[in-house]
Amino acid sequence: MSFEYKQLKINKISIVGAGQIGPDIALHFAKTLSAAGVEIVIIDIADEALANARKKIEKKIARGEETGAFKSQKANRMRQAFSYTKDYQQLSGSQIVLEAATENEEIKDAIFKKIESICDENCLFFSNSSHMQPEVIFKSMQHKNRCLVTHYFFPAERNPVLELIPGKETDPGIIDMLSGFYESIGKIPITVKSSYGYAIDPIFEGLCQTAILCAEKGYGTVKEIDKIAHKVLGLGVGPFTALNLTGGNPITDHGLEEMHEKLNPWFFSPKSLHDAVINQTPWPTAKRGEEVPVARETADRLSKQFLGAYFALASFIMDTGIVALNDLNMATEIALVVKAPFSLMNKTGIKKSWELVQAFCKEHNQFPLPSSLPKAVENGGWKLSDIRSKIEDHVAILTIMRPKYLNALNEKVITDLHEALLNAEKNTSVKGIVITGFGNKAFVSGADIRMLAGLKTKEDAYNNSMTFHKVLNYIESMKKPVVCAYNGFAFGGGNELAMACHQRISRKGMKVLACQPEVKLGIIPGAGATQRLPRLIGFEKATEMLRTGKSISSQEALEYGLIFKETADDLLSEAKSIAMLMAEGKLEAKLATHYLNQVPDRLPDTDIGELSKKIDQILCRAILDGATMRLDKGLELEARLFGKCLNTEDMKIGLKTFMEEGPRAQAKFIHR
């Protein structure tokens, strides 16, 4: 058995280094690849390190089994995937060797010399480093085209972000392939050009430096500083707590000193950090549940320090040109559990953000004023998009990129998509368009629940619905064919987006592909499902899906006529082929018809269980009355009835239940 992704066929992965992060990286590979029979080898020169690695891995698997994260069969399969050895010859036959040893140039160089002498000409060589450049790590390698840095974030088996850092001689095709490979196993890879510390660590370590300097200057205590950083930046934990949890003092101390020489002179290791490393002392952070009062003046001063530092650091990274703006914004938020930096600048106000940075740089006079931020001020803010666009073989591939929210739609996403579609329509080299979602789980998980909860009046709801209709109607009317590639499940607005496309395909064998779960939230669909779904798959099946929230598999979607085909091959390649066939007139579109030939007097009897009878009445009216109208009139009716849901108690109950208890909770509707 093996795991296959495009030309990459994997049956063995070896991890060199059984210290802090190596076992966690190995555990992620085991979670995602052991079902395909992939062997995971962990190699270290020390028996104690191997024993500790085994203990750590088995403890985490057991915990996952206890909590239900892993079924017993999967847990056993993961355990059986591992082998632990001091014998470097066990590297032989690996398709990937990942080194996770200490941040030491000589040690890494020696390891890779040994690795290359054992492995064959097809093996890929990765180094997990948090700072060192690939040109330094792989300086002695003969096959530098197969070498790159993969920077995992703590904890590596759960934190999805991964920086891919190619060297000057790394084959670009390998980077493209590995981006897709890592996406297919649940990671969020971003590509970063070679630079010391890469894109995200200078931001994290710069915030740690800021926190330590604030303490040294007497701006607040360690506990106060942690609390304000957590509050202002939305950090999962404060910087001092993060250093304690990750054992990060030594690597941050070293990293800051190196950044002083290689990035800009502001970076340096403060005396108290250096002392903490020498004395091996943790920071005196607050205990769990401890209340930390902070005076207003102290909070204001610390807030300005952290916002100024955060905005300056993120803008500085953009000045270096090593990473794309949208990638850095998204990956920083997820990797560091912090508010997305450029989104936060826009929300704070771009002029105010610039003032905060200027004040920070005036106090910290060795930090250079960023050049990219004033340009953003001139443009009215950072131009951010949740859509990634690329053109391959005359087809524009538009990927909805909101992995933190499973690609959920809100008005910004749909506006970004509209802009990307307009650009594709205008581009004369583009013959067809594919819309897909990022990752291996969701095409689009639905409408962003926070957007729905923010609707206060029926007019708000009507306008929100019409915003979606405008874009989806545009897709439907485009001259160039638009294919939806369901890379994962499509709930609510995701399926409504798919139904506006000219054709739809999915990955083969998906147990859950499409669902219209709005009734479980106490609302009706607001982006076209009440009109397009009956026109595409017929009243009986559409009514059942709409009134009960029932999901269907990819096989059922094919049988119903919702999708054109399932594919076991590369989804995007198949979608591109279908788009080109349509562009050449060799395949017809399947769109919702403007009129329905036959409209029943009443809908089929449907058991809606404990769902809202009030919402069901509104929904039935949308389906039946809309079916007698032209499609555009039916969609406008849907928008008005969607707004009517705002006047019901059941919508408030449904949304409140979802937000407080999660998607699996059953709302207790009162039918009014």
Question: In the chain, how many domains are there?
Answer: 3
* 566 part of the active site: no
| pLDDT attached to residue 49 | 96
Domain that holds residue 104: 3-191
288 and 392 assigned to the same domain: no
- b/e code 229-253 from CB counts within 10 Å (16+ = b): bbebbebebbbbbbbbebebbbbbb
Q: What is each CA distance from 186 to 28, 162, 311, 609, in whole angstroms? A: 9, 10, 29, 36
Of 121, 156, 191, which residue is a domain's last? 191
419 and 475 assigned to the same domain: yes
Q: Residue 669 domain-assigned?
A: no
595 and 629 assigned to the same domain: yes
CB 648 within 8 A of CB 672: yes
Mean pLDDT rounded to a whole number for the chain: 96
| pLDDT attached to residue 262 | 96
Catalytic site residue from 99, 518, 574, 636: 518
CB 669 within 8 A of CB 617: no
Cis peptide before 166 (omega within 30 of 0): no
Q: Residue 668 domain-assigned?
A: no
Q: Residue 666 domain-assigned?
A: no
User: Residue 443: helix, strand or coil by DSSP?
Assistant: strand
CB 56 within 8 A of CB 183: no
Sign of CA dihedral 150, 323, 353, 400: negative
CB 339 within 8 A of CB 231: no
pLDDT in tens, 376-403: 999 999 999 999 999 999 999 999 999 9
CA triplet 561, 566, 569: central angle to 5 degrees? 160
268 and 371 assigned to the same domain: yes
| pLDDT attached to residue 333 | 98
Position 51, amino acid: A
509 and 608 assigned to the same domain: yes
Collect the ranges in the chain with pLDDT lower than 50. none
Of 133, 161, 191, which residue is a domain's last? 191
| pLDDT attached to residue 267 | 98
Q: What is the CATH number of the domain that holds 450?
A: 3.90.226.10
Single out the residue of 150, 33, 45 nearest to residue 98, CA to CA: 150
How would DSSP label each residue in 176-208? HHHHHHHHHTT-EEEE--S-TTTTTHHHHHHHH
Residue 143: count of CB within 10 angstroms of its CB: 16
| pLDDT attached to residue 20 | 87
598 and 624 assigned to the same domain: yes
Q: Which helix (H) or strand (E) holds 260?
A: helix 249-262
Single out the residue of 317, 327, 639, 603 nearest to residue 466, CA to CA: 639
Position 350, amino acid: I
- Token duo for residue 505: 């395909």
| pLDDT attached to residue 44 | 96
* 559 part of the active site: no
Q: Residue 667 domain-assigned?
A: no
Q: Output DSSP code: residue 267.
A: -
12 and 149 assigned to the same domain: yes
Q: Residue 672 domain-assigned?
A: no
Of 150, 173, 191, which residue is a domain's last? 191
Residue 8: count of CB within 10 angstroms of its CB: 18
Q: Which residues pair with 127 in a beta bridge?
A: 99, 149
Q: Which residues pair with 388 in a beta bridge?
A: 399
176 and 244 assigned to the same domain: no
322 and 174 assigned to the same domain: no
Spatial distance between the Cα atoms of 341 and 482, rounded to a whole number of angstroms: 33
Q: Residue 196 domain-assigned?
A: no
640 and 494 assigned to the same domain: yes
Q: Burial-class residue 659 by CB neighbours within 10 Å (0-12, 13-18, 19+).
A: middle
Spatial distance between the Cα atoms of 574 and 395, rounded to a whole number of angstroms: 12
Q: Which helix (H) or strand (E) holds 422?
A: helix 411-426
Q: Residue 368 domain-assigned?
A: yes
Catalytic site residue from 116, 157, 224, 496: 496
Spatial distance between the Cα atoms of 305 and 225, rounded to a whole number of angstroms: 10
Cα dihedral: 663, 522, 495, 449 (round 10): -60
Single out the residue of 450, 462, 592, 440 nearest to residue 507, CA to CA: 440
Spatial distance between the Cα atoms of 450 and 465, rounded to a whole number of angstroms: 15
Spatial distance between the Cα atoms of 585 and 581, rounded to a whole number of angstroms: 6
Q: What is the CATH number of the domain that holds 333?
A: 1.10.1040.50
Q: What is the CATH number of the domain that holds 178?
A: 3.40.50.720
33 and 164 assigned to the same domain: yes
Reported as half-sphere exposure (CB side, CA atoms, 13 A), residue 72 has a value of 0
625 and 596 assigned to the same domain: yes
Q: Residue 670 domain-assigned?
A: no
Q: Burial-class residue 646 by CB neighbours within 10 Å (0-12, 13-18, 19+).
A: middle
